[in-house]
């Protein structure tokens, strides 16, 4: 298996504008899943994408060559949430068998478990790796958030919450956020979390449980998705509302994932009617909407280093700009960089 191309940070090949957003279309589809995709993650600095599916598969893709690199099955435990560690060929994942809520650190290179993390007593619904250290967090329906170190199998901290928690680190790994019941977001210093939150924000008018929370890459904004299909952008310093959007909620308590573009200019999300929506962070208007053949794209995420996003339903789709549309729109004075 190749070691990953394009080591290190890389600038986007062209500016992400409204025209580029509108031109996005499916570049490649992987249809050989035998169950819905539960989660997916891009590595921060390598061209790797990993997916977790109800068919108990973990699949590693190289997005530079659009090729499947490896498939591993977790038959005994199932696989629900998955995320890369800072190493490009190891992942953390949660179980989906209803009887074992352990987290597992898996080497994709040799299909070997490196460590087990036991502590939760109900389904893990949020999982986030620190971008700058060996620490990670997990949030569970047992109403706890546990803090871990990849090198130690026992949890390093416990934070009790109300309701369904969602967790996220900022890009520097210095601050993390935990969403709570009733539209509350608690902000913690990662080095002093035992002192309690240094700030608490309230999302006025939306008391539904959170399905996901993320920081923009520059740390200035927070993206909160709720179980009722609401998507909120908040100022990460003041907690004030910047914009709110709504999509059709997923029936029967399903969740949707929203994602910032790498430059923080746009937000994308799936919806319960199968569409994928994109909004401008600057002005709050919807700039694009794509149909997904009626299949709910429960997970949607931007690649951190490419003009590409992925959507997962019963298939995996990689979306990229249609350059022919951009050239046609820009005409002979186009300054698009290829």
Question: Tell me: the pLDDT tens digits for 31-44?
Answer: 999 999 999 999 99
pLDDT on residue 265: 96
pLDDT on residue 8: 34
Q: Which of these ranges, 7-11, 66-70, 192-196, 309-313, has the smallest mean pLDDT?
A: 7-11
Write the secondary structure of the chain as one string of H (helix), E (strand) and C (coil).
Answer: CCCCCCCCCCCCCCCCCHHHHHHEEEEEEECCCCCCEEEEEECCCCCEEEEEECCCEEEEEECCCCEEEEEEECCCCCCCCEEECCCCCEEEEECCCCCCCCEEEEECCCCEEEEEECCCCCCEEEEEECCCCCEEEEEECCCEEEEEECCEEEEEEEEECCCCCEEEECCCCCEEEEEECCCEEEEEECCCHHHCCCEEEECCCCCCCEEEEEECCCCCEEEEEECCCEEEEEECCCCCEEEEEECCCCHHHCCCCEEECCCCCEEEEECCCCCEEEEECCCCCEEEEECCCCCCCCEEEECCCCCCEEEECCCEEEEEECHHHHHHHHHHHCCCCC
Q: How confident is the model at residue 9 (pLDDT cuts 50, 70, 90)?
A: very low
Give me the half-sphere count of Cα atoms (radius 13 Å) on the Cβ side of residue 222.
31
Residue 5 has pLDDT above 70, yes or no: no
Answer whether residue 9 is part of any domain.
no
Answer whether residue 234 is part of any domain.
no
Q: How confident is the model at residue 283 (pLDDT cuts 50, 70, 90)?
A: very high
pLDDT on residue 98: 79
pLDDT on residue 252: 78
Higher pLDDT, 169 or 97: 169
Residue 338 has pLDDT above 80, yes or no: no
Tally the domains of the chain: 1
Q: How confident is the model at residue 15 (pLDDT cuts 50, 70, 90)?
A: confident
Answer whether residue 85 is part of any domain.
no
Answer whether residue 173 is part of any domain.
no
Answer whether residue 133 is part of any domain.
no
Residue 335 has pLDDT above 70, yes or no: no
Residue 336 has pLDDT above 50, yes or no: no
Answer whether residue 297 is part of any domain.
yes
What average pLDDT does this structure show over 62-81? 94
Answer whether residue 314 is part of any domain.
yes
Q: Domain residues for 284?
A: 14-31+247-332
Residue 334 has pLDDT above 80, yes or no: no
Answer whether residue 182 is part of any domain.
no
Percent of the chain residues past pLDDT 90, beyond the cut? 78
């Amino acid at each position: 298996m190749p070691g990953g191309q394009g080591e290190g940070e890389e600038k986007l090949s062209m500016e992400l504008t409204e025209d580029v957003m509108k031109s996005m279309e499916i570049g490649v589809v992987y249809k050989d899943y035998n169950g819905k995709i539960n989660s997916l993650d891009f590595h921060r600095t390598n061209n790797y994408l990993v997916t977790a599916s109800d068919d108990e598969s973990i699949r590693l893709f190289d997005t530079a060559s659009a090729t499947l690199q490896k498939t591993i099955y977790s038959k005994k435990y199932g696989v629900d949430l998955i995320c890369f560690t800072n190493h490009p060929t190891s992942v953390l994942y949660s179980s989906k068998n209803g009887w074992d809520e352990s987290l597992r650190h898996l080497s994709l290179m040799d299909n070997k478990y490196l460590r087990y993390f036991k502590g939760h007593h109900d389904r893990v619904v949020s999982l986030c790796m620190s971008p700058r250290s060996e620490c990670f967090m997990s949030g569970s329906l047992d109403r706890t958030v546990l803090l871990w170190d990849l090198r130690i199998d026992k949890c390093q901290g416990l934070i009790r919450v109300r309701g369904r928690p969602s967790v996220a680190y900022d890009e520097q790994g210095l601050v993390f956020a935990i969403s709570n019941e009733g539209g509350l977001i608690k902000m913690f210093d990662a080095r002093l979390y035992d002192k309690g939150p240094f700030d608490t924000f309230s999302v006025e008018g939306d008391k539904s449980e959170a399905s996901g929370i993320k920081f923009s890459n520059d740390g200035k904004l927070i993206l909160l998705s709720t179980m009722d299909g609401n998507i909120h952008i908040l100022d990460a310093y003041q907690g004030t509302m910047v914009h709110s959007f709504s999509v059709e909620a997923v029936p029967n308590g399903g969740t949707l994932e929203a994602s910032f573009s790498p430059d923080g200019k746009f937000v994308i999300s799936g919806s319960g009617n199968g569409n994928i929506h994109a909004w401008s962070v600057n002005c709050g208007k919807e700039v694009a909407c794509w149909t997904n053949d009626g299949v709910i794209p429960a997970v949607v995420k931007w690649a951190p280093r490419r003009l590409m996003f992925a959507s997962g339903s019963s298939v995996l789709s990689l979306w990229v700009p249609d350059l022919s549309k951009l050239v046609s729109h820009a005409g002979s004075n186009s300054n698009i960089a290829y």
